[in-house]
Amino acid sequence: MLLLHYYLPQKLIKDNQKMCGIVGYLGKQNAAGILLEGLKRLEYRGYDSSGLAVFEDGNLIVTRRVGRVKELVAAVKKAPSQSSLGICHTRWATHGVVTEQNAHPQLSSDGKITLVHNGVIENYNTIQKFLISKGYTFSSETDTEVLCNLIAYHYAKEKEPKEGSRFAQSVRKAILHVEGTYGLAVLCADCPNEMVGARHGSPLILGVGREEILLASDVAALVSRTPEVVYLNDGEVVQIVGTDFTISTLDSEDIKPIINTVDWDISEGELGDFDHFMLKEIFEQPEALENAMRGRFSLDQSTAKFGGLNLTPQDLRQVDRILLCACGTAWHACLTIEFLIEKYARIPVEVEYASEFRYRNAPLDKNTLVMVVSQSGETIDTLAALQESKRKGYTTLAITNTVGSTIARESDGGIYQHAGPEIGVASTKAFTSQLMIGAMLALFLGRLRDMSFNDGSELVTGLKKIPDLVREITQHCAQIKSIAKKYTKKQDFLFLGRLSMFPIALEGALKLKEISYIHAEGYPAAEMKHGPIALVSEECPSVFFATEPDTLAKVVSNMQEVKARKGQIIVVRSANCPLPEGLADDEVIIPECHQAATPILASIPVQLLSYYIAVERGCDVDKPRNLAKSVTVE
């Protein structure tokens, strides 16, 4: 029997989810507590609504709530469960209002099937019409409910097979009819000791513990229970019965699982003494930068080395063009990496939005090397760009922070960031880690070409100083907090920089938009006169980057144009770039460093500025409205 806490019929529309958290548990212990603990660790993946389904006294109990996971926790506490099997979900919706009936788990109208889902069922409308003709009804606005009813339809038709499970066969048959993406954890009312999972285009990971098996969309939900995980591939189905599991293809061919060990201290995902994960991760950047460099310089300290590129020096010398693909903050990192590689390795570089590259037929030279950048390793557009590149026969490398991610597994080689888990939605340490790896990659490629030993050694020395210089900047957070208070009520900002500072201007503007909801734009400083200067006023402050003596006079000229129009100026400048007295209203001085590392140091003050402005405005820094940590569904 299926017990529901509500029933509200509504018209069906597509429920396009950007990123959601899935956790499933089958073992010997209380499922609800374990599921909710895992869900709290995945709340950064979605926080519009959440839900949980468990077995209790032969019944399938479903609880769903709008809002943060704490609302679900409170509801579950009112009716404690002793079940050892369950699934749960935290949702981030783009289509379909945020209501309890749209939350997951979704349920079939015959009460036999419940599931949680991350993804989009693109042909949901056709399937829904067919199911309505068969007597199935719908109570939510979600495409997920269509899949749930489809599995129930096949389960009702399916006879008990000679081998395997009627339940698992029903899931397999249903998803053969599905167009789109999915990461699923499914329960059946007739199977109190069984759970089925499947993935296509959306991450799903199996946790193998002692007398317990877990399913999740992110290892963050698993590591407190077990470090042993199996990363499911597209087109794979996992059947969990008791404490055993089998993995097979959609064609029922058995697959031997590869068990990986997650090297992640659970404390890395804890808030500790910080008020927000974003602030914690800003202060973790020195260690993240050290980890990016660890073991990656040659014995003579003149170049970098990367063990996972899977390309010989001879292969790399044939490269005459590099294409970088990414989205969001990672795209800004790519713009900086473009500057560094072209300056130090003299290789032409082009930067593409991954979301555009996957759809346009871009002509690529045969000696083009494609590199994709994604912190999560699951960004759907970046993954699609990687797959499109490989489909056309191009060597495709990846820079990612997540070992075992889909992008890491599907690329021809790559570089792990080793920055540790990043929980805050606004990327900080992952971004500067990408900049560090970009500088090291420029060094590595430059030394393969015409960079001298002395220039290489100088660059290595400069990069190794950066973690301590970042620590020095974070010690001035009180000054940056004081500056932030002055600008809390502003509704518009301009961020302006030249050369390698232009991408940092873009990133600074994005950070402010993401977490404080202030409109902000980043531009090359010289482009200000070509339109943006029209915005300059007492109510629109400008953040300038003055970090290079060679362009300092030009930046000063741009600043004077702003002052002439009564605009307020905040400047982030290097210690070796003095300004005329009184030109800037506020300034943050960063230490002098090697030019290749300047973008890293210049990023820290604007991260802190955005953070403190958002806090002063009362914004939820770690969970900004309308955003999720990573876009895993188009």
User: Cα separation of 363 and 294, whole Å?
Assistant: 37
Between helices 31-41 and 69-78, what is the axis angle to 10°?
A: 170
pLDDT given for residue 519 in this prediction: 96
Closest CA to 629 of 202, 43, 95, 66: 43
Q: In what order do the strands lie in the sheet with 244-249?
A: 106-107, 113-121, 180-188, 194-200, 236-241, 244-249, 254-255
Across the range 489-504, mean pLDDT stands at 96
pLDDT given for residue 46 in this prediction: 66
- With a CB cutoff of 8 Å and minimum separation 6, the contacts of 588 are 476, 479, 480, 483, 570, 571, 572, 573, 605, 609
**Tokens 């001085």 identify what position?**
589
Residues 437-485 have pLDDT tens digits of 999 999 999 999 999 999 999 999 999 999 999 999 999 999 999 999 9
pLDDT given for residue 3 in this prediction: 40
Give the distance, in angstroms, between the CA of residue 335 and the centroid of all CA atoms in the same chain. Answer: 19
In order of start, what are the domains of the chain with their CATH numbers?
2-7+19-262 (3.60.20.10), 270-464 (3.40.50.10490), 476-634 (3.40.50.10490)
Closest CA to 541 of 486, 494, 608, 501: 494
* Per-residue pLDDT at 428 exceeds 60: yes
Q: Is 324 helix (H, G, I), strand (E, B) or coil?
A: strand
Q: Is 246 helix (H, G, I), strand (E, B) or coil?
A: strand
* Per-residue pLDDT at 5 exceeds 50: no
Closest CA to 400 of 387, 388, 410, 389: 410
Q: Is 518 helix (H, G, I), strand (E, B) or coil?
A: coil
pLDDT given for residue 15 in this prediction: 44
- Residues classed as catalytic: 20, 629
pLDDT given for residue 627 in this prediction: 74
Q: Residue 607: how many CA atoms within 13 Å on its side-chain side?
A: 29
How buried is residue 531: exposed, middle or buried, by Cβ count under 10 Å (0-12/13-18/19+)? exposed
* Per-residue pLDDT at 8 exceeds 80: no
Give residue 263's pLDDT band: very low, low, confident or very high (50, 70, 90).
confident
pLDDT given for residue 163 in this prediction: 66
pLDDT given for residue 436 in this prediction: 98
Which residues in 71-132 belong to E strands, given as ranges?
85-91, 106-107, 113-121
Give residue 42's pLDDT band: very low, low, confident or very high (50, 70, 90).
confident
Least confident segment among 208-222, 594-608, 616-630: 616-630
Residues 339-369 have pLDDT tens digits of 999 999 999 999 999 999 988 887 888 899 9
| Residue 514, phi then psi, degrees to nearest 5 | -60, -45
pLDDT given for residue 632 in this prediction: 53
User: Cα separation of 396 and 149, whole Å?
Assistant: 40
Decide if 197 contacts 133 (C-beta within 8 A): no
User: Cα separation of 160 and 167, whole Å?
Assistant: 9
Across the range 281-297, mean pLDDT stands at 97
